[in-house]
Amino acid sequence: MKLYVLEMVRNTFRHDPHRYVEGIYNTKQKAEAVGFIEEIWRAGKYKPEVTAFEVDPSIDKEKFEWALECSINEEERNQIRSSNDLL
């Protein structure tokens, strides 16, 4: 399942533009529509940016095995193994 995060970004001359999360939506179309309205509300000073995120993505098996192999002690290995149960 994907969720769409709508951020409003004010472009400035600084390296770090001001931004805030306006909302999280279950469709890209809704996020874009709300972003359009918010842009008008903020007199065009903020522009919408929509980013898709996968909810509870599965961990890459290669990463899991690598973490298990590189773990320092038994406590770390047990923590990694228990994480796998949650995934």
Which CA distances in Å does 34 have to 2, 49, 65? 17, 11, 42
CB of 1 within 8 A of CB of 57? no
Query: pLDDT, tens digit, for every residue of 36-64?
Result: 999 999 999 999 999 999 988 777 788 87
Taking 3-state DSSP, the helix, strand and coil percentages for the chain, each rounded to the nearest 5, stand at 45, 30, 30
Domain map of the chain by residue range?
A: 2-54, 59-87
pLDDT digits (tens, 9 = 90+) for 11-28: 776 677 889 999 999 999
Structure tokens at 86: 């949650």
Better-predicted residue by pLDDT, 31 or 78: 31
- pLDDT, residue 87, reads 54
The beta strands (E) that lie in 26-73 are given as: 47-54
| Residue 14, amino acid | R
Q: What is the pLDDT of residue 38?
A: 97
**48 touches 36 (CB < 8 A):** yes
Asked if residue 71 has pLDDT above 80, the reply is: no
